[in-house]
Amino acid sequence: MSWWAQPVAKPSEAVRDQAKAHQVSLTKPAGSLGRLEHLATDFAAWQDTVKPTIERITIRVFAGDHGVAVEGVSAFPQSVTRSMLTNFINGGAAICVLAKQHAADFSVVDIGVVGEPAESAGVIDRRLASGTANFLHGAAMSHQVLDKALEIGREQVDGHADLFIGGEMGIGNSTVAAALTSAFLQVPAALTVGAGTGIDDARLQRKLAVVDAALALHNHPDNSPLETLRCLGGLEIAALTGAYIASAQNAVPALVDGYVSNVAALAACRLNPGTREWLLFAHRSSESGHQLLLDEMSAVPLLDLGLHLGEASGAALAIPLLRSACELHAGMATFETAQVASRL
């Protein structure tokens, strides 16, 4: 059995029940803190403790290029992936600012950016190739490369963390995400292809045609989730898939970012269904196909801010909500300790 198919332990329902009982005892009307109450009890079940804390946060951004970028599906040239890699190194990307704000363990992982490796301590060099192959002409990855990409994602998970956040960077990856979403959900490309980096109508039509062509070549009903990921996926998406499965196997909840990350989360759940119970969804992207993925996973995101940046930025913005939920749960007085009547 492959490592990614190994069983995933369930969160502790006994501790969740204890945490719910503690919530009822706090000096507030029952349910008055809404989803914050559910978040606190979720983390209690995940951490196997009635009063959970979120202190150690791991953030990994996986960067990789896509062969399909040569088809003119993005508003930016493929060279921007490497430029953004430098921006990550220099701390100038949005996720760098947010990771610093929350004192997270942050690194960017070069899993397949076109060009020479970045010579910097700020990049984890795990390059497998100079991008994927163009999926209009064949599978994006070989079986061996896909296996290694999943494993690289697994390597980046800290089993002692309280929370894992994965991000991605790679010009063309919203095209890849759309193709994967259509293949996984068996829906037409018109429902999954969006503006991505802000393309005009003509380029949007080109992007739609490219995804349609890729699906005609690779979207076979009898394909396994692994084969779909191999034929259509990106290196960074495969690494994220492995990271989500490994997080669940290590009993570390993962906070999922936007459209591209959600495709990886669905792939992880298709490969190992137990992963789903360890996933929390940060925000609803403005990308058209994202809601389809959320619906498929019965996920209600925490935020809806019209974001479509990627790189784990939306997930990082949700960290204060999670910490507040746990701190309220642990720090509020109970009716008994405050000597407040709980009911008339």
For residue 187, the SS3 value is coil
How many Å apart are CA 125 and CA 110, to the nearest integer?
5
Query: pLDDT tens-digit profile of 15-28?
Result: 999 999 999 999 99
Taking 60 as the threshold, does the pLDDT of residue 255 lie above it? yes
- pLDDT tens-digit readout, 158-206: 999 999 999 999 999 999 999 999 999 999 999 999 877 677 888 889 9
**Band (269; pLDDT cuts 50, 70, 90):** very high
pLDDT-derived band at 288 (thresholds 50, 70, 90) equals confident
Average pLDDT over residues 233-239: 98
Confidence of residue 119 (pLDDT cuts 50, 70, 90): confident
The neighbour count for residue 49, using CB atoms within 10 Å, is 15
Element (H, E) at 336: helix 335-338
Residue 94 pLDDT greater than 80, yes or no: yes
Query: Which domains are assigned to the chain?
Result: 13-53+326-338 (1.10.1610.10), 57-322 (3.40.50.10210)
Instruction: Output the pLDDT for position 195.
Output: 77
Q: Which of 334, 319, 256, 322 is nearest to 104 (CA)?
A: 319
Residues 6+ apart with CB under 8 A from 31: 37
Q: Region 209-236: what's the mean pLDDT?
A: 95
Residue 13 among the catalytic residues: no
Q: Which tens digit of pLDDT belongs to each residue from 41-81?
A: 999 999 999 999 999 999 999 999 999 999 989 888 999 99
Please list the residues that pair with 59 across neighbouring strands.
106, 165
Residue 117: what pLDDT? 80
pLDDT of amino acid 201: 84
Q: Evaluate if residue 344 carries a pLDDT over 70.
A: no
pLDDT in tens, 311-343: 999 999 999 999 999 999 999 999 888 787 766
Average pLDDT, the chain: 95
The catalytic position among 277, 311, 327, 336 is: 311
Q: Distance (Å, rounded) from C-alpha 243 to C-alpha 260? A: 14
What pLDDT is attached to residue 197?
67
pLDDT score, position 120: 79
